[in-house]
Amino acid sequence: NMDWTSYHRLSDIYAFLTYLNTTYPKLVQLTQIGTSYEKRPLYVLRISSSSSPGTRPAIWIDGGFHAREWISPAVVTYIIQQLVEVPANANLFSNVDWYIMPVMNPDGYEYTHTNDRYWRKTRSVSSTSTCRGVDPNRNFAFKWGGMSTSSDPCSDLYKGTKAFSEPETLAMSNFIIGKSKQIKLYLTFHSYGQTILVPYGYDVVYPPDYNELLALADNASTKFVKYEYTVGNSAALLYPVAGSSDDWAKSIGIKYSYTVELPDDGTEGFALSPSEILPVCQDFFPALDVFATKVATCC
């Protein structure tokens, strides 16, 4: 039912996760970690070959923060498919567990299919405005309300009434906190721009281990052949953004934390052609080997 030649509705993506859960019970476990504002399930898929999952170092991957960035859930579902269904990739989880959430903002994602292709935010209702939605990547509890955020419910950068006001960001953060001892790498997929962004992003500020984070991202980016990615500090390369998930993950002690801005470079932008989906996925996947190898022994 799944392929990477077109963009899929949420029901197809969720059917794919359910299929994997029933077909590979020894390898994967699908968990509903919460419910979106409009009552859609929020799913995390665990991939583990361990007899006692949860004891190994782990990688967290998410997609679908911003509703219109359709290439993000496409790449994340491809990563899932390759890990679970291609035996040659089993080495990627021989020492590492994976927690993968392909669509963190399902309400927004569906809304871009049914009403407004360029919707970005969640779909929560405001008590002070008729405008809906919070930018989930301005809603995390680190430097919440700082630069590139808005208090206006009509803004695309609306930060919400408080950190974790959204059921989606709250459920995700609680799940990650529960696994924060194991999770060594936080990887969140956005589009577009072809960059790997290294914390911090709330301002041009560098964590003490910045050079290690940069080196790993640089190393991973040597795997790319078709698309050229730029690696650098988030605030310096792009612009300062406060309340984002990458900085928050770093702030709770997840050593390696990155935001990936997938292709393209802006030519098609969010409306990236379906014919580009598979090339983008295939170009990115080999970089995960670099991350998984590091995570297995890093910290």
In the set 212, 261, 268, 276, the catalytic residue is 261
- The nearer residue to ligand 0X9, 98 or 270, going by C-beta atoms, is 270
Give the single-character DSSP code of 172: H
Residues in contact with Zn ion, shown as a per-residue x/- string from 141 to 180 under the rule CB under 5 A: ----------------------------------------
- The nearer residue to Zn ion, 57 or 133, going by C-beta atoms, is 133
CB of 66 to Zn ion, least distance (A): 3
Planar angle of CA 296, 102, 206, nearest 5 degrees:
55
Q: Is 69 a catalytic residue?
A: no
Planar angle of CA 211, 213, 214, nearest 5 degrees:
65
With a CB cutoff of 8 Å and minimum separation 6, the contacts of 215 are none
- The nearer residue to Zn ion, 21 or 105, going by C-beta atoms, is 105
The site partner of 197 among ligand 0X9, Zn ion, none (C-beta below 5 to 8 Å per kind) is ligand 0X9
Look up tokens 């795997």; give the residue. Answer: 223
Which SS3 state, helix, strand or coil, does residue 100 take?
strand
With CB atoms as reference, the residue minimizing the distance to ligand 0X9 is 201
Cβ-contact 260, 186 below 8 angstroms = no
DSSP H/E element including 46: strand 41-47
Applying CB under 6 A, which residues contact ligand 0X9?
Answer: 66, 69, 137, 190, 197, 201-202, 234-235, 238, 241, 244, 246-247, 259, 261
Binding site for Zn ion (CB under 5 A): 66, 69, 190
